[in-house]
Chain A
Amino acid sequence: MIALITSILAITLRAGTSLIYATIGEIYTERSGILNLGLEGMMLLGAVSAFATVYYTGSLLLALLVAALTGMILSALHAFLSITMRANQVVSGLSITLFGSGFASFLGQRLGPASNGHYLIGLVGKKFTPFDIPGLSKIPVLGAVFSQDILTYIVFLIIPVAWFYMYKTKNGLNLRAVGESPQTADAMGINIAKTRYIYTILGGTLVALGGAHLSLSYAPGWTDNITGGRGWIVIALVIFSMWNPSRAIWGALLFGGINAIQFRLQATGTTISAPLLNMLPYLVTIIVLVLMTWVETLNKKVGAPAALAVPYMRGEK
């Protein structure tokens, strides 16, 4: 039983890592008032570019950099469309997803070596492997937390930093102000467009890194549609965490844990309907949303940024 719980915890963290990167990235983007629905496409392109890089250069660090750059370019495009051009953010985001998933599978068929018919599919490259933190990994059950790969350890670091930056620094306050009331923030002298650009691009970078975690660590290699809809799950997770980075971990663990638990229950001979388990995280999100909206009426502190997905134009009401 203890072994079962330990293994569920370990796999849940591994499965949740890419979700946490992307969720925190999207929280930052949405907090600035920009809705980016291009996550799925950005994660896929992050995954394919990271894997292609590691396959040819053997450098994991370079692979992460290339993935980050991919995320920056795509989110800069989204930022340009939705901030400078004031385009409909839903449309812009969706087109990035459609473009990204198509382009990623195109690259997967063209970037490979000639010996493999130019396919990236089926190749083996370097990957991040889990390593134990001496001492801590020996703790029963919780030791699983300290037997992960480096990207997961970085997540443990990112969560508090992301929370601290957003709630305890002046920049974080400005970010939240821009998302809540750009008019007021503008009046205070904050550069709205610049702030939104910065956090949309920062968010996109993290999202692409989440994709890179899939192809470099979680399911090493490239296969079409490696994300399997994780980009959409992340959008649910952002709502689930009520735009607070410190809560991102719970949603990601819930989503990541469902699969792990589902297969482990099956392997031990218990059968719970798989569709039911797959539905659970979405159901919980709806429940959380209902509860939070109810709480919101009592306490004005939580909720979506008021100016989310609303283009800002100085002087316009």
Chain B
Amino acid sequence: MKKALIMLLSVMLLFGIGFSLTSCKKKETPAKAAEVSTPAKKFKVAFIYIGLPGDLGWTYEQDQGRKMIDEKLGDKVETTFVENVPEGPDASRIIRQYAQKGYNMIFATSFGYMDPMVEVASEFPNVYFEHCSGYKTSDNMSTYFGRMYQARYLSGIVAGKAIPKGASIGYVAAFPIPEVVRGINAFTIGVRKVNPTAKVKVVWTNTWYDPVKEREAAVALLDSGVKLIAQHQDTTEPQKAAKERGLVSIGYDSDMGKFVGDSVLVSPKWHWGSYFVKTVQNALDGTWKKHSYWGGLKDGVVMLSSFSDKVPQSVRDLVAAEKKKIVDGSWDVFWGPVKGQDGKVIVADGAKMSDGDMLGMNFLVQGVVGTISK
């Protein structure tokens, strides 16, 4: 009996540890990779996905971008993708496999593929590598990402107008990393531009993709009396939880209104297609160079989805006006004055925050309730 018990316990603990470790990674998924490939002699492009195109969020939008390559350059280029690739050693194996099979360009769509990709890129100098959201580049490896904070700012304006003066908004946040913090801050600045005493309550789930937890977090915020739910997650659960209470929400990643209904007022979303087509075209023309792409509203990489019918025209006009300022470069979200949670000025009036500071952002702005948990 003791032996059985010890065995039971050790198995249980092992798996417990396994689960708590993998849940720290971006979008952990079972270690299986469904591969889809097609034979031909065109310029071949492969995509490495962290999840499934059916997640309706992150991977869905990357896949929409891939489809745009097919559509625009289909006569010269063919694409393929592999789903559910875990970050870590498995990733370098799969990336290498595509390079060996003669693929000319490989897109890796999650932060954790960075080091595996750097490793493989050094072995295949004639293959182009594109990595999403990282910071390491080499002669044949570039990074791409988007200024999502600009679209989040605009969605904040929509949110600020949708709640009573001085009310609270709930924000279900993934991990306390600069990307997420930047989003919370930009959103809050947008909210308080039109609703100066409103508050944004933040709850961290420490997950990218855990439907049950993300719903629980949203319900906890709703129970605390917030009037609207915004989020930085890869599921639609927080939006669904808000809808069940008869409240509105702001989506993310993709046009979540399509999946949840008109209670999702608007979604800041990714739109990779134009960038993908351009960089593939550059490779075809032989003009591709190492770059660190961080496109914004101007480039169309980040954008707002179409509005729900519940958003009045006056708000749409206001958003359009703000968007124009950002697109023509006359203003950006983190131009001073920007105040921290305690009211202290962090970016002085007239100053502009640098890209470097934005990429390492580790403070919350005035109006956010919550802390960056360590």
By a beta-carbon cutoff of 8 Å, the part of chain A in contact with chain B is 3-4, 7, 11, 15, 35, 37, 90, 94, 101-102, 105, 108-109, 116-117, 119, 121-122, 214, 218-221, 223-229, 232, 235-236, 239, 259-260, 263-264, 266-269, 271, 273-275, 278-279, 282, 289, 303-310
A264 touching B220, Cβ below 8 Å: yes
B15 touching A232, Cβ below 8 Å: yes
Partner among B4, B8, B210, B219 whose Cβ is within 8 Å of the Cβ of A228:
B210
B369 touching A225, Cβ below 8 Å: no
Partner among A223, A224, A225, A289 whose Cβ is within 8 Å of the Cβ of B9:
A289
Partner among A121, A228, A266 whose Cβ is within 8 Å of the Cβ of B54:
A121
Partner among B16, B30, B370 whose Cβ is within 8 Å of the Cβ of A105:
B30
B204 touching A267, Cβ below 8 Å: no
Partner among B4, B23, B51, B202 whose Cβ is within 8 Å of the Cβ of A308:
B4
In the assembled complex, the Cα of A264 lies from the Cα of B170 at a distance in Å of: 12
Across-interface contacts of A102 in B (CB, < 8 A): 30, 32
Partner among B5, B54, B204, B223 whose Cβ is within 8 Å of the Cβ of A109:
B54
- Specify the chain B residue showing the minimal Cβ separation from A218: B212
- Specify the chain A residue showing the minimal Cβ separation from B7: A90
Across-interface contacts of B7 in A (CB, < 8 A): 90, 309
> Which B157-215 residues have a C-beta within 8 angstroms of A?
170, 201-206, 209-213, 215
Q: Is B235 an interface residue (CB 8 A)?
A: yes
Mark each residue of chain B from 53 to 79: 1 if its CB lies under 8 Å from any CB of chain A, else 0. Answer: 111100000000000000000000000
Across-interface contacts of B212 in A (CB, < 8 A): 214, 218-219, 226-228
A260 touching B220, Cβ below 8 Å: yes
Q: Known contacts being A15-B216, A122-B54, A267-B201, is A35 close to B370, with CB within 8 Å?
A: no
A226 touching B211, Cβ below 8 Å: yes
Listed by A's residue number, 9 A-B pairs whose Cβ atoms lie within 8 Å are A4-B223, A224-B29, A225-B30, A225-B209, A226-B212, A263-B216, A266-B202, A267-B221, A273-B374
B8 touching A121, Cβ below 8 Å: no
In the assembled complex, the Cα of A229 lies from the Cα of B16 at a distance in Å of: 8
Q: Is B326 an interface residue (CB 8 A)?
A: no
Across-interface contacts of B32 in A (CB, < 8 A): 102, 105
Interchain nearest-CB distance for B56 vs A (Å): 5
In the assembled complex, the Cα of A239 lies from the Cα of B1 at a distance in Å of: 13
Across-interface contacts of B235 in A (CB, < 8 A): 223
In the assembled complex, the Cα of A119 lies from the Cα of B63 at a distance in Å of: 15
**Contact count A vs B, C-beta below 8 Å:** 151
The size class of the interface chain B forms with chain A is: 35 or more
Across-interface contacts of B211 in A (CB, < 8 A): 219, 221, 223, 226, 228
A117 touching B11, Cβ below 8 Å: no
Q: Is B345 an interface residue (CB 8 A)?
A: no
A232 touching B216, Cβ below 8 Å: no
Q: Is B12 an interface residue (CB 8 A)?
A: yes
Q: Is B373 an interface residue (CB 8 A)?
A: yes
Partner among A239, A269, A303 whose Cβ is within 8 Å of the Cβ of B8:
A239
Listed residue (A117, A223, A225, A260) with the most chain B CB atoms within 10 angstroms of its CB: A223
Across-interface contacts of B209 in A (CB, < 8 A): 223-225
Q: Known contacts being A226-B212, A228-B213, is A304 close to B5, with CB within 8 Å?
A: yes
In the assembled complex, the Cα of A260 lies from the Cα of B19 at a distance in Å of: 19
B216 touching A259, Cβ below 8 Å: yes
In the assembled complex, the Cα of A70 lies from the Cα of B250 at a distance in Å of: 37
Interchain nearest-CB distance for A102 vs B (Å): 6
Q: Known contacts being A223-B211, A266-B370, A267-B203, is A35 close to B216, with CB within 8 Å?
A: no
> Which B119-170 residues have a C-beta within 8 angstroms of A?
170
Across-interface contacts of A119 in B (CB, < 8 A): 52, 54
Mark each residue of chain B from 1 to 30: 1 if its CB lies under 8 Å from any CB of chain A, else 0. Answer: 100110111011101100110010000111
B215 touching A269, Cβ below 8 Å: no
Q: Is B109 an interface residue (CB 8 A)?
A: no
B8 touching A235, Cβ below 8 Å: yes
Across-interface contacts of B9 in A (CB, < 8 A): 239, 289
Across-interface contacts of B210 in A (CB, < 8 A): 225, 228
Interchain nearest-CB distance for A310 vs B (Å): 7
In the assembled complex, the Cα of A220 lies from the Cα of B211 at a distance in Å of: 10
Q: Is B282 an interface residue (CB 8 A)?
A: no
A236 touching B373, Cβ below 8 Å: no
Q: Known contacts being A11-B219, A278-B20, is A303 close to B52, with CB within 8 Å?
A: no
Q: Is B253 an interface residue (CB 8 A)?
A: no
> Which B360-374 residues have a C-beta within 8 angstroms of A?
369-371, 373-374
Interchain nearest-CB distance for A44 vs B (Å): 10
Partner among B8, B29, B371 whose Cβ is within 8 Å of the Cβ of A271:
B371
Q: Known contacts being A278-B20, A309-B4, is A264 close to B11, with CB within 8 Å?
A: no
Q: Known contacts being A224-B29, A269-B369, is A304 close to B1, with CB within 8 Å?
A: yes
B16 touching A232, Cβ below 8 Å: yes
A259 touching B54, Cβ below 8 Å: no
Given A101-B30, A279-B20, 13 more A-B residue pairs with CB atoms under 8 Å apart are A7-B220, A11-B223, A35-B8, A121-B56, A214-B212, A219-B237, A227-B212, A228-B19, A264-B223, A267-B224, A271-B370, A308-B8, A309-B8
